[in-house]
Structure 1
Amino acid sequence: MKGRTIVLDHIQGREAAALMVDGKLDDFLIEADAPAPGTIYRARADRPMKGQGGMFLTTPDGPAFLRQVKGLAPGALLLVQVSGYAEPGKAIPVTNRILFKSRYAIVTPDAPGLNISRSIKDDNTRDRLIEIAHAQMDGSAYGLILRSCCASADDDEIAEDISAMLAQAEQVMGDAGTEPELLSEGDGPHLLAWRDWTDPADVETKAGGFETHGVLDALDVARGIAEPLPGAGTLYIEPTRALVAVDVNTGADTSLAAGTKANFACAKRLPRALRLRGLAGQITLDLAPMPKKDRRGFEAALKAAFRSDPDETTLAGWTPLGHFELHRKRGRAPLAEILK
Structure 2
Amino acid sequence: MRRGLFVFTHDLRLHDHPPLQQLARQVDELLLVYCLDPDERRPGRYQLASLGPHRLRFLRESLRDLQHRLATQGQRLTILEGRLDEALPPLIAEYRIDIAGSSLHSGIDEQRQWQALQQHCPDCRFIQGNSHSLFDTEVLPFSPAGLPDSFSKFRRQVEAQSEPSQPQTSITSLPPPHAGWRTESHAGHSAAIAQRFIGGETAALAQLDAYFHSERPQSYKATRNALWGWENSTKFSAWLANGCLSPRRLWAQLKQHEAEFGANESTYWLGFELLWREFFHCYARRYGVRLFNSKGIRSQAPLTSFYPGRFRQWGPRDFASKYCKSL
Judge same fold: TM > 0.5, yes or no. Answer: no
Larger helix share, 1 or 2? 2
Task: Between the two structures, name the one with larger relative contact order (CA 8 Å, sep ≥ 6).
Answer: 2
Larger strand share, 1 or 2? 1
Q: Give the TM-score normalised by structure 2.
A: 0.27
Q: Give the TM-score normalised by structure 1.
A: 0.26
